[in-house]
Structure 1
């Protein structure tokens, strides 16, 4: 007589640890070490590990989450807070965060606060109620009290115990401004980010320092202060339109980020000028769409995925060993990606002035 489905593990929708152990003829301990990626499991032969993973997938084995959490005294989850998860910076950072957490079998909750101070205070409490093991803050200051491990990316938090993943902004300014200087640009529009963004002041001070070293004059009438933190290129389009209605006495624009640079590109096109023939543009971040603009965007690349991975990695290390010592700051290196949107200044500005006089 055929066995009942309930008695045949191979025909069940899923199996438990004991049944998986019987199927593989391996101890439950061995299987647990492999599936939990335990350091002790590294000594188990690769062929055996492959058998365990293949069988767990085939028979849809699901470990008991609550039992595992109790054994480890952890929820195996973290809380991620960000202003928003819009296209560009945040999607690329989160790509790195997710990759690191998935490889470590960790889950995460995300909370977008949109710079609402009430939400920025309330979300940490709500995440603690969901038993997260730690916090990862993206471009968000740690303005709340917590006994949990905490890592901040691009937040420049001075709070004790917080590890900051930050970019070398002085090197970023050096790369961008040296590039423009060597192309002959002396009249440059500088775009300062919204005051609410933690990176803004650090990047601006680096620009001022590097411009001084190169002998570049920062003219107040050629400075744009972005008022809004937006995912839309309109954040750069509107202020660039207003500036060009007042003056076109410049040959290059150093944008706050790639999103604003895309808006600047359109504003210049709508004014009947070309990039880089009349005006060069440099962006910041190197988001995925930067290479596919027309012309493709020269930009300062932040290693966003690597910053996300590093932030998640350090946070998990803090969770695993709270007593260990961690640096307050980990500095990441930028890279200049030269594409089509920058070219030599030559005599373009003089030519435009002469054309307007005629």
Structure 2
């Protein structure tokens, strides 16, 4: 019997658990139970012990709130519209996971749309979500330039727009962590892969890198700088741009890539050209997606707390909807630097040449 079968629904209706059921079991009022389960302002006066008893009883009795009854009674939908550039990549998936986790615990539902940086699609989807009664918006990697109709939180938002709260990473700190690491290993000839112009973090991150490089005395050479193009969300996006850097015949001992997927694609390119990571070229990524630790070699990277950023966004938009706390235009989160095996000391140069390609090892077989 599946959960969606008519028989299952009939049995469910026969043993339907209500707030009154839980209240009678615990010797509490339905209002107290409702406040605790809905995390309403009234729940602040309920002791932690009592809240835990209510939550435990609801779990044991398999309580499921009647969404439609609550919507009609309170004239609210408890629904958030999530507008994303992409969710098929690791970055988007981690952010959305954080959003979902917090909304679920707060008894909110969410609808997700993907615009892939198409302005017309973005406008259409935003209007569509409004007609479906969402109470607020969360956006990821999406440029907002006009005051929205509802409380809005923009993850990786950098435009100052009235009534929009931006959740941003401290990119200056992130850039300095990465460049200090490479500089400490003796790298001065560093290549850079910049982000696509359509990415909301691209310009801010590059400005931060340039500022940190100047402070550390690292020269950023135009011939060692290249910009990503396209919307591919796999490591394949970094491969051709790493190849283009190599084709310029300008020596470099390290690469700082815009994100982890382009860094991983670059490692593929270097390996195909007979270059070793990190013995010949060190590689640093950005984001610390789940696969970064499992590349060969493990990727040194700047960690964005993507899951946490999603949780903060969800909490912020709910607080604004329910009138808790004051509006803030920006919430900054701190990066971490994760050192793995893709970085090492800068190799010695001979006559300014790019490292010679290594020859593949010959397999040895035991004598028969």
TM-score normalized by the length of structure 2: 0.86
1:326 aligns with 2:327: yes
Distance of aligned partners of 1:168 and 1:48 in 2 relative to their CA distance in 1, 3 Å threshold: closer
1:191–1:224 CA contact under 8 A, matched in 2: yes
2:251–2:352 CA contact under 8 A, matched in 1: no
Instruction: Measure how far apart 1:186 and its partner are.
Output: 1.1
Give the aligned partner of residue 174 of structure 1.
Answer: 176
1:107 aligns with 2:120: no
Q: Distance in 1 between matches of 2:206 and 2:355?
A: 33
Q: Equivalent residue of 1:277, what SS?
A: coil
Q: Distance in 2 between matches of 1:185 and 1:10?
A: 65
Distance of aligned partners of 1:291 and 1:113 in 2 relative to their CA distance in 1, 3 Å threshold: same
Instruction: Measure how far apart 1:74 and its partner are.
Output: 2.4
Give the aligned partner of residue 149 of structure 1.
Answer: 151
Q: Distance in 2 between matches of 1:10 and 1:127?
A: 31
1:229 aligns with 2:231: yes
1:14–1:60 CA contact under 8 A, matched in 2: no
Distance of aligned partners of 1:285 and 1:47 in 2 relative to their CA distance in 1, 3 Å threshold: closer
Give the aligned partner of residue 306 of structure 1.
Answer: 308
Root-mean-square deviation (CA, aligned residues, Å) is 2.5
Distance of aligned partners of 1:155 and 1:273 in 2 relative to their CA distance in 1, 3 Å threshold: same
Gaps of 5+ in 2: 1-10, 358-368
Q: Equivalent residue of 2:238, what SS?
A: helix
Alignment of 1:1-358 (within 5 A): 12-22=14-24, 26-44=28-46, 49-143=51-145, 145-247=147-249, 249-321=251-323, 325-348=326-349
Distance of aligned partners of 1:41 and 1:162 in 2 relative to their CA distance in 1, 3 Å threshold: closer
Q: Equivalent residue of 1:158, what SS?
A: coil
1:192–1:204 CA contact under 8 A, matched in 2: yes
Gaps of 5+ in 1: 1-8
2:77–2:135 CA contact under 8 A, matched in 1: yes
Task: Give the number of equivalent residue pairs.
Answer: 347
Per-residue CA distance 1:147-204 (angstroms, 9 max, x = gap): 2101101021221111111111111111111111111111111111000011100111
1:298–1:337 CA contact under 8 A, matched in 2: yes
Per-residue CA distance 1:94-127 (angstroms, 9 max, x = gap): 2221222122111111111111111110111111
